[in-house]
């Protein structure tokens, strides 16, 4: 069986109940989340061996994160323990015209303060076929871009396929900072995934987006040309309101642009929907499905994630396939 | 005052909070539900004497079901106690493109294991005018089709009006099994209610559904013709998504097809909406309202049920009438 | 800094969890609310000194209301304690075609039983620039119209600006009763705010509402003409369903009708949205913003309130400005 | 089967979660309770037909109270609807040295404002053998002492047995007011139940309580002598702390003082424990059990109630018998 | 590292919130539990490789049980999927004199209906050193005694150490049935654990228990004599009330009776405390700790479990050691 | 009116529901707390003007802390905003032999990273009579001892009374580190409060504690002698178990040792009980009550706090007085 390794931060997420604003109520929902952890979690559920590598504090908060990952069948043997704290983020869902609000409290986390030497590179890549990380990880500290670059190189040297999701977070760094780092990583990246508009802006591609579908194609072509990336997948989100979004994905198979079904969906919790796209797209590639299937499954998983509370896409391949095939939310009984 | 008796199973329903997937969280909502129990509950709230007959285990779980029914003014004097267990169903609401999920755990329940001899037929039908059951009941065991048939015959012999909702459940039996049983019951059925598409398929009516409204009329006519049923009411549901449905009802008054107002509604909980249609339609018939009113009230009750958590339609006739008359969800204060 | 004083009743609100009907479940959410208290709360959050004057029982229920107001930076020094009870209202949110339901239990409350002499008029108006109340207050007892009239006169004599929201509540009095009282207050009112349709009906303006925007203009003009009111702001709500509303505001700047952006929004909790309009509109006026900004902020605050659980609009001016500028509910992270 | 009728007020009880103080948290638990309603509820569970008569507002709050009683098999046919409001009480459990806190908000309730003429005396006493009320009821309004007296007389004339629990509430009236009313009712009372210390004080019996058990005997004797009461039962509670109480009961069989087992118990919720004593004692008398059994069952039910959340003692006769026989809280599995 | 395999049933446990009686409230807490699963869970937390073997339905309920076990680092690779349902048990905690109540609904479960052939015996015992099961397992079906016997024999043949906890459940079988099965298993059992009183009764040892500590010694001796068991450990529980228990353990090292510290403890949740004793005692034996330490850790783990909600003892060896060394519940901060 | 200023850190506290272990459940309770903030909160409730000075991040988490303090009538005008984060602590209550567990995550908090220059010393001490802080504050960073020393000196120069609670936290520093700092502060301290055993150890007093009451006297005398402190108050806690503690206080009036009533109490939440002692003792001193009353009120407030969920002692002076006078937790109704 194939095995994917992902690398990044997992945090404790603290959210008020739906409709309450942050810090105005005495009750909270807790869950764990982080882009690369979420990717590993869905890959594991879709039947791909998945390991998540991070650094966690050696306390009850770190133990909880490990239990969370274990429950999801994620291999935690590469997780190192040390440092001061588990990163936290406070998340208030949006509704109507009120956008979701995210207060990061991840500074000084065990992961953000980690060094390349903390990780057992041989161990983490043994038996692995695929390495994945996202643009959040290099943004977390001054050392992280170098750690990411060295890990990606090590992965490539060992013959792994590397995937990278641009995942730009304006609260962590600006487009310019991101671009300079991403451009060092892209030469080693086999599969590059990004939100189309964000990608155009962060990588300064200069594509005219007045026609959205054409822009998708142009962005793909430009990335493949500039960086020699083999596989590029893009996602497009339309925010009708904080509780209603449109979503679709696209990729490029040699000369053909492949678009997924276009969805419009209500929102229970949109956090982690991009990660669900990554996991379903990459799992499909790992399993040898064709790219049309990969982008359909990616988009379906992303849209399904909008209906699920918390960071993790608890989904089976059957559920993803049904949604991709036009499932409409009918009760099965 | 008129009295309706319904017969079927009542189960404990176990649901996660909204947005959580089944068995991923340590909290649950509990309620009781079952098609015929739900029908009795709404009939009682609409001012029709209603009794529910079933078999429940003689333990705390059974006691809870009885308390639930009593609270709703349902006559529980015909309930017999015995057998091993209360049936359970785990229900996860759908959202967006993710369909609701229902895991039945009703095998071996006190009701499914009951025999005709367990019930006091004279007692249950004394002072009753109307007998109702749905297609879920005969699907629950090998003995059940015969129990249903004998009860319906006894009801007819005592001069009761008999209503039957097709209520096909693919997790319990297939269309063919259902048809062979339903066809033994239909000759004794005065009021037959069904989802139009389901009915066309289960009863193999062969109606062309390319024009929905015409199909409704054709299905009605075909049933009346084939089985001699006096009153047929159909429901039509459109599943735009797991949290947005369309709904309307229709019936046939002599030569005239009577359609209800057509609704589109958000969904809090759609379980029991068909039962609400049954209860409001049948109560209207029992009260002597005309069929146009009956189908309007049926559809309005069904649509209102979509806005209520749990299996039971907690509704008053005033609320149903207001919705039928075009109420739009304005606050009254 | 400018200071606004509002006068009215604050009640304990008791609500079931979403989707449950009133009094069918053993859990409730508690919050405090009341139109004028809500206005003070948002004004204080928007940086205007705000005091709320009322009468509360001298028990734990009253203490809770004071703590609630203090938390929101509302000056509570003018609140008097006495009387028997805190008013209560049971509130069930609507959904789909089921309207929200409000059961008032405010009879005999400390506020409703208060007299003019209970209040320290000099104290409450010292350092104040603005006095606000709504049509709910005079509806609460036989004495209240006179208390309101005397307070408004005292406010005018001290040079305060007076604002009044018509806020007609059919459960408290009828249009005719309201009109006779409102007409005594309007001569002293500088800023008059109302729902356009309600206003047309309660004040018997006779404006033709077949064209909604023209009706807004005509209603404004008629009020300014009849009562000499300097500033009139109107709100228009469309109830598509209990969980989807349209909303906009308008006002009149000399000769120009100024309309806000027109919104359509999902609904978490619409209680207090009118109060949010009042607070954001009046705060803008107090801060010297132009009327176009005032009506935009009023409408944006009102629409944002639809997304927030409870009576109080927990909002910052930045959030209101973003919504007014077309914010679409995108996550910021 | 014998039938008991009880008469009094039922209120909505609003409580914070354990450990939270009143009005400091946004969540509450709701239940219904009232001394005489609680007595009827336990009698019904113990197999005695039980009806509760009261006056409730004709709104959703009143409907909820009726559903609550129905669920418990209490006959609600004698309940009249009318008046303004359902009484409310806010209840905060005590813990350690912090006493429980009870904020009544029952003024102006439908029951407190009711008149003798509101009740159908013939209907309420038809088929009844026993009438019960407690000292809370006459304390609720100026009219209530007279209503109680007339009902008790009517009961006696119809041959019913009358029981009365002194149930003195210092927040409702003082000992002197209570005594003057109780002394008018005692001549018609067959079974009188009271807390020993309270009874000694309220009825001014002047018994020396330095020896508790002797005081019980003296109080019983004095009441039987003064008022000619046939059966007197007393309860004794020791408050070690807000979460640990001692409890026992005693009664008098001709010449013999009969004491129950003496209990010491932790406390989940002590509200309604006196009512549980009444119900179990009276049910035992109605069923013809001997007085030793009656006082044992009364005390056991009261102590068991301390372990149950809410006002109602959800208990079976088996559970009461086991506790009376020395059950020690071992798990049965 | 050593590895323990346990075999038995895991069920979904459904409990009301503390103080509520079963089936009287609409909220529940869900967790998974079962004696042998709980033993594996604590062994894994104490650093012993632990696998749990059972049969689970191939549905969402079964998936949830697997996730639960994975989270706890329990090896689930030997779990087979099939059959109809996950066993359920409804559990109401006791309080004061009210005993806990347990309603089993485990009939027809996937495990109870399993056959010897369902299990991969070679797989489950590969790399294992220790096999554990309890007296609940053979009680679950007619086939189970034989399945247990064959597995124990297979384990012995492969050189594993076998431990067995008597764990008599009167709701599953009587002492006589249990004895006849246990006596077939004891010859293969290396470590036998039991509640002293239960053991004396079920195995009909006839030891005089008037002196408890002497009885412990006599019971141990008798078992070692009769069945040749190498290691016997006994537990003694005193039920002061449903929320206060005493507890200690004892074992026998050659000629010396070794008693643990004697505890008295309040109770959050006593389910699984015997399993915690088993896990901590057996883990200690597996790790080569002396028997005095083993019995101290067993007793400390059991007592600590009383303080933890749910079936599983979430505990570290440090916490157990601290409690064994006289830890008194002081806050560490 | 007198005014007290306190200085320290306020954190977000995140706790699982009772009985759950940290990070094993998806629900949490949130509150704010910190020793000096808790002292200010109770002083304000007891009628002493109270201001709390700290540094909070300028985000929603900081806003929540401000709202929390405002609600409690604490003057927040001296709070400065800046820095990265609000400190967090995860708190799991203990039960039985399982101790409470506290995971601090306060490194890098806005307060811990603050400098002397961040605070407006003139502003914070204007109109103030009393300055209070505890030994937690200087332990929070390398700079803090100096900040504390300079503030205390400034306070003394302005004629304020200074109180200091030793409040040693072993997770923050060791006894030796604490002593060296405390000894710089004690010369400026008028009122020194400490746990007797902790004080003896941290300040290395060398008092023989074999007789507890004599040790109290000796510790007091030694402190007064060594440091010239005018008023010393000591607390003594006995930890019978994690849910049962003993507690009393003592102080010294000239030549007389004054002991409070000795309490034994169950525990809902013991966090903040020392702070409650401080607040009630200091408030009494500020109000001019005699020292016997001060120590009685201090001890009663501390014991009452054990019965209240969260960090804050929501208490009135009446409640404290009642407990001090021997109140036993009887319901008042």
| CB D296, CB E66: distance < 8 Å | no
| Main-chain phi, psi angles of B239, to 5 degrees | -100, 90
DSSP strand pairing (C27-33 vs D27-33) = antiparallel
Give the nearest partner residue to D107 out of C24, C29, C84, using CB atoms. Answer: C84
Among the listed residues A151, A209, A145, A150, the one whose alpha carbon sits nearest the alpha carbon of residue A183 = A145
A94 touches chain C (CB under 8 A): yes
Mutate to test the interface with F, among C71, C77, C318, C332 (most CBs of F within 10 A): C71
Tokens 């806690």 found at: F237
Q: Tokens 């053909």 identify what position?
A: A256
3-state secondary structure (DSSP) of residue F261: coil
Judge whether B17 is closer than 8 Å to chain F, CB to CB: no
**Residues on chain C touching A271 (C-beta within 8 angstroms):** 331
State the average pLDDT over residues D212-220. Answer: 97
Nearest to B244 by CA among B93, B102, B39: B93
Mean predicted lDDT score pLDDT of chain B: 96
Mind listing the pLDDT tens digit for each residue in E248-306? 999 998 889 999 999 999 999 999 999 999 999 999 999 999 999 999 999 999 999 99
Chain B residues 72-91 within an 8 A CB cutoff of chain D: 72-73
What's the pLDDT at B331? Answer: 61
Look at residue B95 in the predicted model and tell me its pLDDT. Answer: 95
For A144-200, how does the pLDDT look when each residue is reduced to its tens digit (9 = 90+)?
A: 999 999 999 999 999 999 999 999 999 999 999 999 999 999 999 999 999 999 999
- Closest Cα partner for B21 from D198, C318, E299, A316? A316
Confidence class for position E234, pLDDT limits 50, 70, 90: very high
Position D254 scores a pLDDT of: 81
Q: Look up the pTM and report it.
A: 0.96
pLDDT, residue D331, reads 61
CA distance A6 to C247: 46
DSSP code, position B186 = G
Residue from D129, D165, D243, D275 carrying the catalytic annotation = D275
Burial of A159 (0-12, 13-18, 19+ CB in 10 A): exposed
pLDDT for the residue numbered D326: 85
- Chain E touched by B59 (CB under 8 Å): yes
Mean pLDDT of C258-285: 97
CB F138, CB F11: distance < 8 Å:
no
- Tokens describing residue A178: 């991101």
- pLDDT beyond 70 at C55: yes
Does residue E144 carry a pLDDT above 80? Answer: yes
pLDDT for E92 = 97
Q: How far apart (Å, rounded) are the C-alpha atoms in residues F328 and F302?
A: 15
The candidate with the shortest Cα–Cα distance to A284, out of A331, A308, A251, is A251
pLDDT tens for each residue of E75-112 = 999 999 999 999 999 999 999 999 999 999 999 999 99
User: Using an 8 Å Cβ cutoff, are D161 and D130 in contact?
Assistant: yes
pLDDT tens digit string along D272-299?
999 999 999 999 999 999 999 999 999 9
Mean pLDDT of D175-193: 97
Task: Tell if the CB–CB gap between D61 and C22 is shorter than 8 Å.
Answer: yes
Distance (Å) from the C-alpha of residue E82 to the closest C-alpha of chain B? 14
Per-residue pLDDT of chain B (333 residues; tens, 9 = 90+): 799 999 999 999 999 999 999 999 999 999 999 999 999 999 999 999 999 999 999 999 999 999 999 999 999 999 999 999 999 999 999 999 999 999 999 999 999 999 999 999 999 999 999 999 999 999 999 999 999 999 999 999 999 999 999 999 999 999 999 999 999 999 999 999 999 999 999 999 999 999 999 999 999 999 999 999 999 999 999 998 888 999 999 999 988 999 999 999 999 999 999 999 999 999 999 999 999 999 999 999 999 999 999 999 999 999 999 999 987 666 666
- Catalytic residue numbers of E read 275
| Axis-axis angle for helices B291-305, B317-324 (nearest 10) | 100
Binary contact (F108, A103; C-beta < 8 A): no
- Interchain CB distance below 8 Å, C71 and F73: no
Whether residues D314 and E104 touch (CB distance < 8 A) is answered with no
F96 close to A (CB below 8 A): no
- Taking only Cα atoms into account, the Rg of chain C, rounded to an integer number of angstroms, comes to 19
Q: Which of A178, A182, A188, A126 is CA-nearest to residue A156?
A: A188
Catalytic residue list contains F208:
no
What share of chain C has pLDDT > 90, as a percent?
Answer: 95
The partner residue sitting opposite F28, judged by closest CB among A28, A60, A65, is: A28
| Count of other CB atoms within 10 angstroms of residue F113 | 17
Q: Write down the residue that tokens 């209800």 correspond to.
A: B260
Residues in a beta bridge with D258: D251
**Greater model confidence, B254 or C127:** C127
Using CB atoms, which residue from F28, F67, F84 is nearest to A30? F28
Tens-digit pLDDT profile for residues D135-174: 999 999 999 999 999 999 999 999 999 999 999 999 999 9
The fraction of chain A above a pLDDT of 90, given in percent, is 95
Identify the band that residue E242 occupies on the pLDDT scale cut at 50, 70 and 90.
Answer: confident
Question: Which value does ipTM take for this structure?
Answer: 0.94
Domains of chain E: 3-324 (3.40.1190.20)
Kindly list the partner chains of chain E, i.e. chains with 3 or more CB atom pairs below 8 Å: A, B, C, D, F
pLDDT for residue A255 is more than 90: no
Of B31, B64, B107, which has the smallest distance from its Cβ to E84's Cβ? B107
Distance between CA C69 and CA C74 in Å, rounded?
5
Chains in contact with B, where contact requires at least 3 CB pairs less than 8 Å apart: A, C, D, E, F
Cβ distance C60 to D23 less than 8 Å, yes or no, reads yes
Q: Searching chain F, which residue's CA lies closest to the CA of residue E18?
A: F18
Residues in chain A closer than 8 A to C267 (CB atoms):
96
* E71/A71 CB distance under 8 A: yes
Which positions of chain F have pLDDT values less than 70? 328-333
Task: Give per-residue pLDDT as tens, D240-284.
Answer: 888 899 999 999 988 899 999 999 999 999 999 999 999 999 999
Counted across chains B and F, CB pairs separated by less than 8 A come out at 6
Question: How many C-alpha atoms does F285 have within 13 Å on its Cβ side?
Answer: 26
């Amino acid at each position: 069986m194939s095995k994917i390794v992902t690398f990044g931060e997992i945090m404790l997420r603290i959210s008020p109940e739906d409709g309450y604003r942050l810090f105005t109520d005495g009750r909270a929902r807790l869950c764990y989340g982080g882009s690369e952890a979420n990717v590993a979690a869905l890959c594991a559920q879709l039947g791909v061996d998945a390991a998540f590598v991070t650094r966690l504090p050696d306390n009850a908060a770190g133990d909880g994160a490990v239990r969370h990952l274990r429950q999801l069948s994620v291999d935690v043997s590469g997780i190192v323990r040390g440092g001061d704290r588990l990163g936290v983020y406070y998340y208030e869902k949006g509704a109507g015209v009120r956008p979701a609000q995210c207060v990061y409290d991840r500074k000084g986390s065990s992961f953000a303060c980690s060094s390349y030497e903390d990780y057992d590179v041989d161990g983490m890549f043994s038996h692995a076929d695929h390495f994945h990380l996202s643009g959040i990880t290099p943004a977390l500290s001054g050392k992280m871009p170098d750690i990411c670059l060295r890990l990606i190189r090590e992965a490539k040297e060992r013959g792994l396929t590397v995937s990278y999701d641009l995942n730009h977070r304006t609260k962590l760094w600006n487009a310019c900072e991101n671009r300079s780092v991403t451009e060092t990583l892209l030469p080693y990246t086999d599969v590059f995934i990004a939100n189309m508009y964000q990608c155009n802006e962060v990588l300064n591609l200069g594509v005219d987006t007045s026609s959205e579908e054409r822009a998708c194609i142009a962005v793909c072509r430009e990335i493949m040309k500039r960086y020699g990336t083999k596989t590029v997948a893009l996602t497009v989100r339309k925010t009708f309101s904080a509780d209603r979004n449109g979503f679709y994905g696209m990729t490029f198979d040699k000369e053909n642009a492949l678009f997924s079904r276009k969805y419009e969906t209500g929102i229970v919790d949109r956090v982690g929907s991009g990660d669900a796209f990554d996991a379903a797209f990459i799992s499909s590639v790992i399993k040898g499905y064709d790219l049309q299937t990969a982008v359909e499954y990616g988009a379906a998983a992303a849209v399904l994630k909008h209906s699920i509370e918390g960071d993790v896409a608890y989904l089976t391949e059957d559920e993803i396939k049904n949604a991709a095939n036009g499932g409409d939310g009918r009760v099965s009984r």
